[in-house]
Structure 1
Amino acid sequence: MSTDTPQPQPADALDNSRHLRYWQRCLRTLLPHQYTANDSTRMMLGCFCVAAFDVLKGVIPPSDRTAFRSWVLACQHPGGGFVGGPTHAYPGSVYAGYDFGEKKVETGAPGEANIAATLFALQLLALLSTSTEQSEGEGGGKRSEDPREGAFLGVNRNATLRWLRRLQREDGSFGEYVADVPDPKAPGGRRPVVGGGADMRYCYIASMIRWMLGGGPHSDVPDIKVDALVRYMHRGQTYDGGFAESSTHESHAGYAFCAIAALEMLSRPAEGDPTSSGDDLFARGIADRPALLRWLGARTFLYRPEIEEDDDAEWQESIVTEVTPSDICSGSPLLGFNGRCNKHADSCYTWWTVASLAILERHGYGLGEEDSAWPAKRRFLLEKMQHHIGGFSKIPGGPPDIYHAYLSLAALASQGESSLKTFDPATCISQDTVQTIEAARRGLLRGLGEGGQKRRADLLELGKACWKKTAAVKA
């Protein structure tokens, strides 16, 4: 028997096995009671858990993948889109007699699919696809198409794209959901209302759903108003160069990422190089690109524990935000990020900032120089945010949580961390999953061509089965 004892890993090493154990606990056991308030966003929590497994090169057993896919499809709304969890829509029988296409109400309010849950559901279906799934055709014969084309089996593409268009307001922005409210003057006594805020998050999510499902001017479903959306985002850039939730609000790194990524997704080709489109929406969607780059660069500051970890010292942070080359080259500095002026370092802000810069860089609008400070930024995540039980925390010394743990992995992967999968910053998932989405879209669109109508009808029937009383789908 060997007497060698495992050597502790350096503080700045990414411990993949520890993180996989953390995500295994999140995925297969009850979450801490603090997540109770997140019941309506269970689709997001599930997506981050499975996406983290993917990025860490973990393996989810086929039986679990099948069960998870059934859970996701059980959350599909018959009027288009997905809900945040299986308890957030009415039973299937309630929708009998409701014509979502004509908006004729016969049974009251239809329940509410929401835009964020729809994005996470589609990503989950792609993440849960396997290389062997749907590889056999009728009679046990092999199908000729890419087996990943079955990833979106059961998704009602046309209904979801029509529903997405209803979420867009006249000013170009997108809401979170569509609800029917009483109105004596409206036909049938009710009228649809777009609910939720108007901000960059929904703009980004809408552009993602459109790209994933193959929406656009070439589609058989009416497209969203792209020009109005670009104009809306253009108005969201603030006086300091950043992007805000919407016009006149405070700039925020998360909203900057959403605007930048949305502009890429709106002109992104269906497959292949994301920069190969000839339509440069960055020129129209960003009023002042140099100011935006300066603002993103200013989000980095020299982390000083004696200030950052003192709850009463937040006001002092403004005096330590300047980083000079001598700071980076001397000693072992830690460089953190804040997403807003005069705020503490937060692990998710690392993602929002480095991903924004990565997207701009590959479109030729970056800072034009190699980020020699990345090792110091990486050490900040791994030494201060990486938790001893796995996962990453929001702030130094805090507990890990699903949101910050995944976005910290995303930040590391987007910068080429060797033990993680190649990552696509605009979609916030691995490049492998992006390719699965591209194949899944081909699978949906295959039903639109010659000889594909029956196959398309079969796919839609699979989705509808999730809402029948006799459906053998359990969440």
Structure 2
Amino acid sequence: MQLTVSKHVAFFQRHLILLPNPYEEHDSERMALGFFCLLGLDLLNSLDKVSKEDRESWIEWIYRNYILMNCEDSNCKYAGFRGFATGGTSLTVEQEPQLAATSFAISNLLLLGDDLSRIDKHAVEQFLSLCQLPGGHFKSTASSTCYDQDMRQLYLATTIATLLDISFPHIELSFQYILHCQNYEGGFSLIPFAEAHAGATFCALASLRLLVNIISIQKQPKLATLDNDSIPKHYALQDYIPDTKKLITWLVKRQQISGGFNGRTNKDHDTCYSYWVQGSLQLLGASQFISHNNVKSFLLNQTQHNFGGFSKVAGEFPDVLHSSLGLYALAFNDETNFPKVEHAICLPTRRMPNYS
């Protein structure tokens, strides 16, 4: 089966206008849902189908969710974005900036062509510092005490620092935290001594790549992109990972007979892991060890939906997350039909800001 481009374009356009009922419980995550729709259209080279009026309206909506808050001691301010304005207009704990919403908001603005000039970068730097924990990992908000303190938040922080070209707090602590999360199987876990997971492994490797890049640009001119061929040899990830061979073996074993990938040992395949696993192997320069034809067949013949979009597994309805990540997985190995994409950050290369 071929990629049904027109159906996929229509799928993302519909979701940008009106979200179906199953998304109701994710209402507070509209910033993320919008990102997956915009990313999907851009991967299909169809973002120009968005009208100038809609583009400007969406940019203004994003900035309405930009929050500047006072630190607890009132001697500083920190800033970021929230996922959606819930619970009225007063700034409560539930309304404070979140790492995830901030990362998605910045990516959305770049996809829509905004120059990010309205963002107080120093205040966002302060936000990252407030979210970092003594172990080098991050919590989701400045006031959070127990939720989401794992590899995902660290990756979001490195993405924010990279896209805004701002300093990253205590790089050495975060670097060591990541390395401590590689487990006996070879993959990385969300927290030390936990089960290896493909999503956590991608977050770990991408964070390492971005941190290495942040370190390197402090000593030399800034790099235009983050791809392996743009980074000096002595900044290769293999130089830092305790057991690269075991890691690559574990990643390759995630490919199933179907051609798709699972995220953990003894689990079923899932469209999104075609992105997480391939992205990890791309970062390691080891994508030659999997069957790209089988991945393509799995996505196009099993999870590509007649309505447009991609589902998690065959037989389910499509959703915007699996649809955009399914397209990204195809784009990794096809620059003829897709734009060139970044490996460590989920954006087409043409959308990356150039601070040189």
The residue identity in structure 1 corresponding to 2:151 is M
- From 284, 289, 294, give the equivalent of 1:376: 294
CA apart distance, 1:32: 1.6
CA apart distance, 1:109: 5.4
CA apart distance, 1:86: 2.2
CA contact (8 A) 2:121 2:166 kept: no
Whole-Å Cα distance in 1 between the matches of residues 250 and 208 of structure 2? 18
CA apart distance, 1:374: 0.9
CA apart distance, 1:267: 2.1
Whole-Å Cα distance in 2 between the matches of residues 49 and 24 of structure 1? 7
CA contact (8 A) 2:86 2:95 kept: no
The residue identity in structure 1 corresponding to 2:278 is V
Aligned match of 2:159: 208
- Name which one, 1 or 2, has greater alpha-carbon Rg: 1
Structure 1: 5+ residue stretches without partners: 1-10, 95-107, 130-149, 180-192, 217-222, 304-334, 443-475
Aligned match of 1:340: 264
Q: CA RMSD in A?
A: 2.0
Are 2:68 and 1:78 equivalent residues in the alignment?
A: yes
CA contact (8 A) 2:275 2:325 kept: yes
C-alpha spacing 1:246/1:89, structure 2 compared with 1 (3 Å): farther
Aligned match of 1:415: 333
- From 369, 381, 391, give the equivalent of 2:309: 391
Counterpart secondary structure, 2:260 = strand
The residue identity in structure 2 corresponding to 1:377 is V
Q: After the TM superposition, which residues 298-337 of structure 1 pair with which residues of structure 2 at under 5 Å, given as runs?
A: 298-303=253-258, 335-337=259-261
The residue identity in structure 1 corresponding to 2:329 is A
Are 2:25 and 1:37 equivalent residues in the alignment?
A: yes
C-alpha spacing 1:89/1:112, structure 2 compared with 1 (3 Å): farther
- From 270, 273, 281, give the equivalent of 1:357: 281
C-alpha spacing 1:257/1:88, structure 2 compared with 1 (3 Å): farther
CA apart distance, 1:87: 2.3
- From 91, 94, 99, give the equivalent of 1:115: 99
Tell me the number of residue pairs that the alignment of Structure 1 and Structure 2 aligns: 335
Aligned match of 1:14: 3
Aligned match of 1:167: 131
CA apart distance, 1:280: 2.8
Give % identity: 32
CA contact (8 A) 1:299 1:340 kept: yes
Counterpart secondary structure, 2:256 = strand
Are 2:55 and 1:65 equivalent residues in the alignment?
A: yes
CA contact (8 A) 1:240 1:295 kept: yes
Aligned match of 1:52: 40
CA apart distance, 1:286: 2.1
Aligned match of 1:296: 251
Per-residue CA distance 1:39-90 (angstroms, 9 max, x = gap): 1211000011111111111121111110000000000011301001122684
C-alpha spacing 1:230/1:372, structure 2 compared with 1 (3 Å): closer
CA contact (8 A) 1:299 1:353 kept: yes
Whole-Å Cα distance in 2 between the matches of residues 89 and 424 of structure 1? 37
CA contact (8 A) 1:177 1:195 kept: no
CA apart distance, 1:281: 7.0
The residue identity in structure 1 corresponding to 2:51 is P
The residue identity in structure 2 corresponding to 1:256 is T
CA contact (8 A) 2:189 2:201 kept: yes
The residue identity in structure 2 corresponding to 1:386 is Q
C-alpha spacing 1:161/1:81, structure 2 compared with 1 (3 Å): same
CA contact (8 A) 2:85 2:95 kept: no
Are 2:271 and 1:271 equivalent residues in the alignment?
A: no
Whole-Å Cα distance in 2 between the matches of residues 55 and 386 of structure 1? 15
CA apart distance, 1:110: 8.7
CA apart distance, 1:282: 2.7
CA apart distance, 1:120: 0.3
CA apart distance, 1:37: 1.0
CA contact (8 A) 1:233 1:285 kept: no
Q: After the TM superposition, which residues 69-148 of structure 1 pair with which residues of structure 2 at under 5 Å, given as runs?
A: 69-79=59-69, 80-87=79-86, 90-91=89-90, 111-129=95-113
CA contact (8 A) 1:167 1:178 kept: yes
Counterpart secondary structure, 2:142 = strand
Aligned match of 2:197: 252
The residue identity in structure 2 corresponding to 1:68 is W
Counterpart secondary structure, 1:429 = coil
Aligned match of 1:261: 206
Aligned match of 1:456: none
CA contact (8 A) 1:176 1:194 kept: no
Counterpart secondary structure, 1:301 = coil
Counterpart secondary structure, 1:47 = helix
CA contact (8 A) 1:252 1:340 kept: yes
Structure 2: 5+ residue stretches without partners: 70-78
CA contact (8 A) 2:100 2:153 kept: yes
Whole-Å Cα distance in 2 between the matches of residues 194 and 282 of structure 1? 32
- From 17, 37, 50, give the equivalent of 1:28: 17
Per-residue CA distance 1:174-211 (angstroms, 9 max, x = gap): 110012xxxxxxxxxxxxx5552221111111111111
Counterpart secondary structure, 1:78 = strand
Counterpart secondary structure, 1:178 = coil
CA apart distance, 1:417: 5.2
CA contact (8 A) 2:81 2:98 kept: yes
C-alpha spacing 1:281/1:177, structure 2 compared with 1 (3 Å): farther
The residue identity in structure 2 corresponding to 1:343 is K
The residue identity in structure 2 corresponding to 1:210 is A
Whole-Å Cα distance in 1 between the matches of residues 149 and 253 of structure 2? 26
The residue identity in structure 1 corresponding to 2:198 is A
